[in-house]
Amino acid sequence: MMRFIQVFFVTLWPNTHKNMAGVKQIKTALVSVFHKDGLEALLAKLHSEGVKFLSTGGTQRFIESLGYECQTVESVTSYPSILGGRVKTLHPKVFGGILARRENEGDRAQMQQYDIPEIDLVVVDLYPFEETVASGASEQEIIEKIDIGGISLIRAGAKNFNDVVIVPSKNEYGMLQDILDKNGAQTTLEERKQFAERAFGVSSHYDTAIHQWFAK
C-alpha cells in the first residue's frame, strides 16, 4: 500500500519595514508656509503619490500656480481669513482634523458628527520673527511677525505624532522628501516621532526668541 504524505511549506518573510503596525498613510496635507523655496519638489512628490492639498492665502495660490488642485481652508471652516490675516487656520475643523485620535471611537464619532476631515500631514514654515527683528523693523512690524496659527499647527501636529506627520520648517522638507522617495506616502511611528522632536525644537526656539525681544 502506498502512503501519501502531505508536506506544508511555510514561508517566513523578513521584517523589512520595522513595525508595520505603526505605519500610516498620508492622504491629506495641510500646507501653510512663509518661505516657498524648496517646497516645489516636495509638493510634486506628494501630488504624484495622490496626496490632497489643503491651504490658504499665498501658499494656496503657490500650490495652484504649480497646476495642483488645492482645497481652501475657508471651504472647510466656512470662515474667511479675518482680522488682516491674523486668523486663518485657527478653527476646530482644522485642529480637530489634526488632533483627532484615529483609533479612538469617541473622536471618530465626533469627526463624523461635525464633518471634520482627517489631516495626516502638516507642513509649516513660520513667519520670520528673528529676521524681522534683525532688519531693524518697527515694533508693529515685528509684532505682526509673531506667528500664532503656524506655531499652533506645529504643536498640534507634534502632539498627535501617533497619527500625523509634522514638518515644522523648511529645514525638514528634505527629511520628508527622503522618506517619500524611499517608501511612498507613508511613515512609521518612529519617523513621525522624530518629526515631533524637531517640531518642539522649532517651537521652543521661536518662543525663546520672542521672549528675549520682549525682555530686552
Nearest residue to 99 (alpha-carbon basis) of 46, 150, 152: 152
Domain range for 198 is 23-215
Residue 43 resides in a domain: yes
Residue 9 resides in a domain: no
* Per-residue model confidence (pLDDT) at position 20: 59
CATH number for the domain spanning 45: value is 3.40.50.1380
Neighbour-count burial of 202, counting CB atoms closer than 10 A to its CB (0-12 exposed, 13-18 middle, 19+ buried): buried
Name the pTM for this structure: 0.87
Residue 18 resides in a domain: no
Query: Residues 161, 167, 169, CA angle at the centre, nearest 5°?
Result: 140
Spell 166-187 as b/e; 16+ CB within 10 A means b.
bbbbbebbeebbebbeeeebbb
Residue 94 resides in a domain: yes
CA distance 41 to 44: 5
Residue 176 resides in a domain: yes
* Per-residue model confidence (pLDDT) at position 107: 93
At position 63, the amino acid (one-letter code) is I
Residue 156 resides in a domain: yes
Q: How many domains does the chain have?
A: 1
Residue 3 resides in a domain: no
Q: What is the pLDDT along the chain (216 residues), one digit of tens a residue?
A: 444 444 443 344 444 444 456 999 999 999 999 999 999 999 999 999 999 999 988 999 999 999 999 999 999 988 887 788 778 888 999 999 999 999 999 999 999 999 999 999 999 999 999 999 999 999 999 999 999 999 999 999 999 999 999 999 999 999 999 999 999 999 999 999 999 999 999 999 999 999 999 998
CA distance 77 to 21: 32
Neighbour-count burial of 163, counting CB atoms closer than 10 A to its CB (0-12 exposed, 13-18 middle, 19+ buried): buried
